[in-house]
Amino acid sequence: MSETEFRILSSEFIVSSASGRDIVEDELPQIVFTGKSNVGKSSLINSLLNRKKLAKTGNRPGKTRLINFFLINSSFYFVDLPGYGYASVSRSEKQKWGQMMRTYFTESDNVKLAFSIIDIRHDPGEHDLKLIEMLDGLKIPQIILLNKKDKLSNNQLFVRKKAFAGVFSSFSTIIDILPYSATIHYNRDKVLEHIERITAGAENDQY
Ligand SMILES: Nc1nc2c(ncn2[C@@H]2O[C@H](COP(=O)(O)OP(=O)(O)OP(=O)(O)O)[C@@H](O)[C@H]2O)c(=O)[nH]1
Ligand SMILES: [Mg+2]
């Protein structure tokens, strides 16, 4: 990393979208956070931004129901997506969720990076793989974040990292696979380095 360390200087909630339409009207880069409900997407956003409650978090799955746009450093967006796969939701709500994701990802031209978040203790589920495949098909660079690393011992961490590396070895859009903990901010600097490169380096086509 360069000597001038990348810093989060400002972060503010801008708008929510219920339809899935990308309703932000500028062309600033968007960095999205996807993953199963309760995996810690909103907590991760707060961890990266050093804010306790900017993105709403919760103990019960299904906390985030809308697509939320946060403007960072007045120069790019974090996009907090609703999670999938929580049991209490009806079939029609699940369909609505699927439609929302398709609308967002196929219509937005400004998604420069996706964090695909998985609980490090569990293997990726059907929905995780579907979304990762969809992003791959759309040629969106992605980073797999294995959240809740604080729940594992170092031995377990080693085993889980190896397992995930095997599962995702064939995806060309996956640029990194990193354990993370939103609770203890583990690997926060590494994630911020990626964000710095993606948001500053649109001209040097390294991904
Ligand atoms: N131990 C531990 N708990 C975490 C971590 N990240 C999130 N959590 C907890 O997991 C729960 C869900 O976190 P959220 O950030 O609301 O999850 P989400 O993915 O945004 O969930 P939805 O909005 O429902 O899709 C909360 O109780 C968090 O405190 C982590 O790294 N470690
Ligand atoms: Mg959430």
* Domain-embedded: residue 192: yes
Residue 33 lies inside a defined structural domain of this protein: yes
Predicted confidence at residue 17, as pLDDT, reads 86
Domain that holds residue 82: 14-200
Token pair in block for residue 154: 């170092």
**What average pLDDT does this structure show over 1-29?**
82
Residues with CB under 5 A from ligand 2 (ion): 41-42, 63-64
46 lines ligand 1 (CB under 6 A): no
Residue whose CB lies within 8 A of the most ligand 1 atoms, among 43, 53, 191, for a mutation test: 43
d(CA 117, CA 33): 7
pLDDT at residue 174, as a whole number: 97
* Residue 47 φ/ψ, nearest 5 degrees: -60, -45
Residue 61 lies in a domain: yes
Q: Could you tell me the CATH number of the domain that includes residue 153?
A: 3.40.50.300
User: Token digits for 46?
Assistant: 């707060």
- Could you give the number of structural domains in the chain? 1
Q: Indicate whether 6 belongs to any domain.
A: no
Q: What is the pLDDT of residues 42-97, one digit of tens each?
A: 999 999 999 888 988 877 766 777 899 999 999 999 999 888 766 566 778 778 88
Residue 4 in domain = no
Q: Over the range 90-103, which residues count as b (16 or more CB within 10 Å of their CB) and which as e?
A: eeeeeebbeebbeb
Cα–Cα distance, 108 to 30 (Å, whole number)? 9
